[in-house]
Amino acid sequence: MTATSLLLNPRAYDPQRFDPETRRLLRATIDWFESRGKAKLTEDYHARVFYADFLEFAGEQGLFATFLTPAANADGSPDKRWDTSRVAALSEILGFYGLNYWYPWQVTILGLGPVWQSANDVARKRAADALAAGGVGAFGLSEKDHGADIYSSDLVLTKDGDSYRANGSKYYIGNGNCAQTVSVFGRVDGVEGPDQYVFFYADSNHPNYHVVKNVVPSQMYVAEFRLEDYPVHAEDLLHVGAEAFSAALNTVNIGKFNLCFGGIGMATHSLYEAITHAQNRILYGNPVTDFPHVRREFVEAYARLVAMKLFSDRAVDYFRSAGPDDRRYLLFNPITKMKVTTEAQKVIGLVADVVAAKGFEADTYLAMAKNDIDGLPKLEGTVAVNLALIAKFMPAYLFAPQDYAPVPTRDDAADDEFLFRQGPARGLSKVRFHDWKTAYEKASGIPNVALFTEQAAALVKLLTEATSDEAQQKDLDFGLALTELFTLVVYGQLVLEQAELTGIEADVVDQIFAVLVQDFSAAAVDLNGKASSTDAQQKIALAALRKPVVDAERFDRVWTMVRGLSGAYAMNP
C-alpha cells in the first residue's frame, strides 16, 4: 500500500474491506455531496443555511440508523451494528465535505451514548425507532455558566408523585433544535452526594422543551434549550447516581474519538485543493511549487496528514479489541482528540500559507476549513484537559509494560458492544500497555526513527534521573509541557505499528519522523523554559535536541508523491 492510497479520494472511493451495504451507504454519501456540487456547498456555508437537506438524505438512506444502532437493538436487521471502523470512515467523509456536515452526525453519536449504555429497554427501543424514522440525537450535558462541569449542574429534577419535573437550561447542544433523542444530564433536588445525578431521555418536540437560540453564527445549530416543568417518568430515566457520571465520561470516550477523523477529512480536502492550485499557479515565470520553501511546506503537510491517518486507523483497532482486561484505548482516545486535531490545524495552516490570498476566496473549500478547523481541538474542553488526562497513563506506559496478544487490523463486520459496557470511569492508572519500545526497535533502520528513539530515551532519563518534586507536580504548566513530550512517543508508536501493517513507503515514514524529531526538540525547548524547571531537567531537555537526518533524495521522492496529488481530485462544481 502507498501512503497516498491512504488518503480519501472520492473519485476512486470503494472500500472493499466493508460489507456491501456499508460500501453502498458510504458511496451514496459521497455521491450526494458531489451531485450537489461545490457551489452549493460553499454558498450554503457562507449563507449559514441549516443542513436540513443533508439530514433528509441521511434519513431517507437510513444512514445514521444503520451505522449507529447496536445489534442488540437492530430488530433483526443484518446491517445495523455499532462498528467503529465504519463509523470512522463516515466521520472522515463528512469532515471531507465540511465540519457543518460532520457535526450533526457527531452529536447524534454523543446523544445516543447514554441510551445505549442504559439498561432501560423502553428508552433503547424508543431511540432505535427514532433513528429508523430518520431522527437525530443530542447530548444535553453542558450549561452556559458551568460548561461541562457536571458537578455543578443547574438543571434540577423535583419529585412529582412517582415521577419528576425537570427545570433548567442546557447550552452548546448540537442538534438541540431538532433531536428526537436528547440525553439530558441533571440532578435531583434535595439529594446530596453522587446519588443526586441523573441522565434522562427528552425529545425536542415536547411542548415543555423550549429552544432558546442558536448560540453560534453558523450552519450548525448549537442550541440553548430550556426545560420548563418537563415531565420525566420512570421509562425516561437512563442512569442514576454514580452511573450517570460514568455514562457521561464513557460517552465522551465513544463519541469524541471521531474528532480525529473529521479533522483528517478536512485536512485531506484542503491539501488536494491547495496542491492543485499551487502546481498550476505561475509566478515570475515558474510554478509556485518550484520555490523550495513551498515544497518544504507541502511535504511537511503531507507527512503530518499521513501520520494522522496512520495513528487514527491504528487506534480504531484498539477500540474494537478492547475489553475489561484491555483498556489501552483510554490513552489513545485523548490523543486522537488533542494531538490529531491540532495536527489538522497545522496541515491546513501550512497549505493556507502556500496559497495565500486564494485561501480567502468564498468559492474555495480552504476558506471554510480555515475558519472551522480551530473548533475541533476545542470541542472536547481544551488541549490542556486532554494532556492532563494523558498524563495519568505515563508511568504505566513507560515503565510497566505487560504482554498482550497482538491486536489485528479490525475491519470485520462486528458489533463493538463493549463500548457500551465500559463500566465505572475510574482506575486509569491501573491500565497497562504493551512495550512501546518494540515498534521503535523494528523500525530502527529508518534514520529519523532511530533519532527519535534517542529523544524518547531522553524522556525516560528525565523522568528517572530528574524527577519532579512535590511542588513541581502541582505545577500544571510544567506538567503539560512534560506530557507533550510523552504524547509524541505514544503517537510515534502507533504510527509505526500501522505503517508496518500497511507496508507504506519507508521514505514517508522517515519523513514523518523528521517532523516528529523537530516537534520533540521544540517541546523540549519549551520544557527547558518553564519557570519551575530545574537545572537537571533543563540539561536533559536540551541534550535531547536533534536535527532531523537530512536526505535530499528522500525528500525529492516524497515531494514527487505530493506533486502527484495535483489534479487527483476536485469537487464537482
Q: Which three cell numbers stand for residue 25?
A: 451507504
Strands 181-188 and 137-140: parallel
H or E element in which residue 198 lies: strand 197-202
Measured CA to CA in angstroms, residue 250 lies from 152, 312, 339, 507 at distances of: 19, 19, 20, 39
Report the run of H or E that residue 306 belongs to, with start and end: helix 292-320
Contact 99, 266 (CB under 8 A): yes
- Please check whether residue 570 is in contact with residue 34, taking contact to mean a CB–CB distance below 8 angstroms: no
Grid cell for residue 549:
537526518
Distances (CA, A) of 136 to 84, 228, 518, 532: 18, 22, 43, 48
Say what the pLDDT of residue 470 is.
Answer: 83
H/E run at residue 138: strand 137-140
Long-range pairs, 463-470, Cβ under 8 A, ≥24:
463/394, 463/398, 465/536, 465/540, 466/534, 466/536, 466/537, 466/539, 466/540
Distance CA(434)–CA(402), nearest Å, equals 5
Residue 421: CB atoms within 10 A of its CB come to 11
Q: Tell which residue, 334, 290, 345, 287, has the closest CA to residue 312.
A: 334
Please, is 464 exposed, middle or buried when counting C-beta atoms within 10 Å of its C-beta (0-12, 13-18, 19+)? exposed
How many angstroms separate the CA atoms of 344 and 99, rounded?
12
How far apart CA 274 and CA 289 sit, in angstroms, is 11
Beta bridge partners of 232: 164
The residue assigned the cell 519551575 is 532
Q: Residue length, the chain?
A: 573
Helix residue ranges, H only, 430-475: 437-442, 447-465, 470-473
Report how far residue 490's alpha carbon sits from residue 492's, in angstroms, rounded to the nearest whole number.
5
Distance (Å, whole) CA 362 – CA 359: 8
Enumerate the β-bridge partners of residue 168.
227
The C-alpha atoms of residue 289 and residue 298 are separated, in whole angstroms, by 9
Q: What are the Cα distances from residue 525, in Å, to 481, 491, 535?
A: 10, 19, 13
Region of 242 (left: φ > 0; alpha: ψ -120 to 50; beta: rest) is alpha
From residue 3, alpha-carbon distances to 85, 504, 561 in Å are 19, 5, 9
Cα angle: 526, vertex 531, 535; to 5 degrees: 80
- Between CA 188 and CA 110, with CA 160 as vertex, the angle to 5 degrees is 45
CA dihedral 336, 372, 265, 557 (to 10 degrees): -90
What are the backbone dihedrals phi and psi of residue 565, each rounded to the nearest 5 degrees, phi first?
-80, -15
Q: How many CA atoms lie within 13 A of 382 on its CB side?
A: 5
248 close to 355: Cβ distance less than 8 angstroms: no
Give how far Cα 372 sits from Cα of 95, 102, 341, 375, 516, Å: 11, 12, 12, 6, 25
Q: Which of 291, 294, 293 is nearest to 275 (CA)?
A: 294
DSSP assignment of 284-298 equals: TTEEGGGSHHHHHHH
- CA 500 to each of CA 3, 179, 323, 404, 434: distance values in angstroms, whole numbers, following the listed order: 12, 42, 24, 18, 17
Cα 497 to its chain centre, rounded Å, is: 19
Q: What is the pLDDT of residue 287?
A: 87
- List the pLDDT tens digit at each of the 573 positions of the chain: 999 999 999 999 999 999 999 999 999 999 999 999 999 999 999 999 999 999 999 999 999 999 999 999 999 999 999 999 999 999 999 999 999 999 999 999 999 999 999 999 999 999 999 999 999 999 999 998 877 777 778 899 999 999 999 999 999 999 999 999 999 999 999 998 889 999 999 999 999 999 999 999 999 999 999 999 999 999 999 999 999 989 998 998 888 889 999 999 999 999 999 999 999 988 888 889 999 999 999 999 999 999 999 999 999 999 999 999 999 999 999 999 899 999 999 999 999 999 998 899 999 999 999 999 998 887 655 667 778 888 899 999 999 999 999 999 999 999 999 999 998 877 888 899 999 999 999 999 999 999 999 999 999 999 999 998 888 888 889 998 999 999 999 999 999 999 999 999 999 999 999 999 999 999 999 999 999 999 999 999 999 999 999 999 999 999 999 999 999 999 999
Its pTM stands at 0.96
**Measured CA distances, 125 to 106, 142, 170, 181, 236 (Å):** 21, 25, 25, 11, 12
User: Is the Cβ–Cβ distance between 562 and 2 less than 8 Å?
Assistant: no
Q: Could you give the CA distance from residue 220 to residue 99 in angstroms, rounded to a whole number?
A: 9
Q: Report which of 294, 295, 266, 268 is spatially closest to residue 356, judged by C-alpha positions.
A: 294
Q: Which residue has the cell 465522551?
A: 252
